[in-house]
Amino acid sequence: MADYYEILGVSRDATEAEIKKSYRALARKYHPDAGATDSERFKEIGLAYSVLSDPEQRSRYDMFGESGIGAQPGGFGGFERGAFADIFDVFFGGPSREEYRRPRRGRDLAYELKITLKQAAEGITEEIEVPLEAPCPDCGGTGIERGLSADICPECGGKGTKMSSRTTVFGSFSSTTTCPRCQGSGEINTHPCPTCHGRGMRREVEKVEVKVPAGVDDGDRMRLAGKGEAGTRDGKRGDLYVIVSIKPDAVFTRKRTDLYEMVSIDMVQAALGMGIMVPTLDGEANLEIPSGTQPGAVLRLRHKGMPKLHSRVKGDLYVQVEVNVPTDLSGEEKKLLQEFARLRGEKASNGGVIGRILHKA
C-alpha cells in the first residue's frame, strides 16, 4: 500500500481541514456513482482518510507507519486502533453490472471480545465462535440446483442494470442502477438449490483463534484477514475485526500504560512512615510510605503499570494515599493524643479561638 498522505495528495503537515477537503474531492472523483470503476482506489482513499482524520491514529501512523495502525494484510498480528470508520460503505449504492460480474469480496465482520485488565496486561489466546454466512456445500454457493443453470432475466434482457440519476452530497450523478428483478446478475434462478433454497449461503459458526497481544487497550481492534464472510463469484473472504473491550477493574484505573489505585493507611502510619503491601496486577508489592505522608499524596511504583504494545516497556502504578482519621477513640487513646498535642504545643480540645469557630461551623 502506498503512503496515506500520497493517497490523499496532501503534505505530511497538512491540517485536518486540508485532509478533509482533499478527501472529499477524491471521494467524489472515485465515487462508484460517478462512473469510476476503480473501487479499490476508492477504498484506499477511505482507509487513508479514516486514519489521517483521527489525530491518535494519525500520530501512530506518523511514528510507526502502517504497522502502527496495522492496516497491512497478513492474518494475525494486524492491529488497528480507534473506532470503525465505515466511510466508504456509506457512499456505495447498488453494485453496477461490472461490479456484480466481478468476483465480490465477502463482508467484513466485527466481533467484540471482552477481556479483563489482567488479560490485557498479559495478552491471551482465545478461541472465539464467529457466526457467519458460508457458501452452501451442495451448490458451491451458486444457489442453483446442481447440474442445472439459470435463465436470462426478462426484465433487463440479461444486462443486469437500468439507467437512473440521483443526487448526493457530492452533487448529482447519472448512474446505472441494479435491475430489481435479478439484482444485477442478468439471470433468474428457476432451479433453486434445495439445500439452501437458492441463497447459495448458509449460517455457520466458525471457531477462530485470536491472539491478543499484551498491552491492548479498550477499543483496540485486530484484523484477521480472510476470516470474514465468504465472497461471491470466487471473491475473496472479507476480514474479521476483533474489537477489544476491557471490563472495568475493581482496583485499578488505567490511563494508557499507567495504572492508578487508592490505598488507605492509618494516621500514625502516615506520620511515621512504613512499608505496606499494595495490590498490583501481578500480586502484591511493597510500597514505602515515607514519614509525613499527607492525605491525597500520590506515590509511584515504577514499571508496575501496563506493558506498552509490542514492547518490553511498562508503565507505572500510581498509588493515591488516603489517610484514615480514627472516629472511635477510647478514653485512653484520647488522653494519649492530648498528651501528644501538648508535647507539640498544639491546641488539643476546647482550646483557642480557632478551635471554637471550627466547632461551630
Residues at the interface with Zn ion (CB under 5 A): 136, 138-139, 153, 155-156, 179, 181-182, 193, 195-196
- Is residue 131 within 8 Å of residue 208, measured between CB atoms? no
Q: Which is nearer to Zn ion, 181 or 310 (CB)?
A: 181
Ramachandran sector of residue 356 (left: φ over 0; alpha: ψ -120 to 50; beta: rest): alpha
Pairing of strands 317-324, 258-266: parallel
Q: Which is nearer to Zn ion, 53 or 195 (CB)?
A: 195
Name the residue among 116, 124, 120 with its Cα closest to residue 249: 116
Angle at 131 between CA 128 and CA 135, to 5 degrees: 125
Residues in the chain: 361
- Is residue 212 within 8 Å of residue 126, measured between CB atoms? yes
Q: Which is nearer to Zn ion, 153 or 301 (CB)?
A: 153
Residue type, 29: K
- Cβ 101 to Zn ion shortest distance, Å: 13
- Cβ 170 to Zn ion shortest distance, Å: 28
CA 87 – CA 84 distance, rounded (Å): 9
Residue type, 13: D
CA 279 – CA 302 distance, rounded (Å): 14
- Cβ 167 to Zn ion shortest distance, Å: 25
Give kind and range of the element (H or E) at residue 262: strand 258-266
C-alpha cell belonging to residue 290: 515515607
- Cβ 95 to Zn ion shortest distance, Å: 13
- Cβ 86 to Zn ion shortest distance, Å: 28
CA 5 – CA 270 distance, rounded (Å): 55
Q: Which is nearer to Zn ion, 32 or 143 (CB)?
A: 143
Q: Which is nearer to Zn ion, 154 or 292 (CB)?
A: 154
Q: Which is nearer to Zn ion, 109 or 193 (CB)?
A: 193
Q: Which is nearer to Zn ion, 109 or 139 (CB)?
A: 139
- Is residue 245 within 8 Å of residue 114, measured between CB atoms? yes
Residue 286 CA neighbour count, 13 Å, CB half: 5
Cell 433468474 found at: 188
- Cβ 203 to Zn ion shortest distance, Å: 13
Q: Which is nearer to Zn ion, 8 or 156 (CB)?
A: 156
- Cβ 195 to Zn ion shortest distance, Å: 4
CA 225 – CA 152 distance, rounded (Å): 36
Q: Tell me the torsion sign for CA atoms 116, 121, 125, 131.
A: positive
- Cβ 173 to Zn ion shortest distance, Å: 21
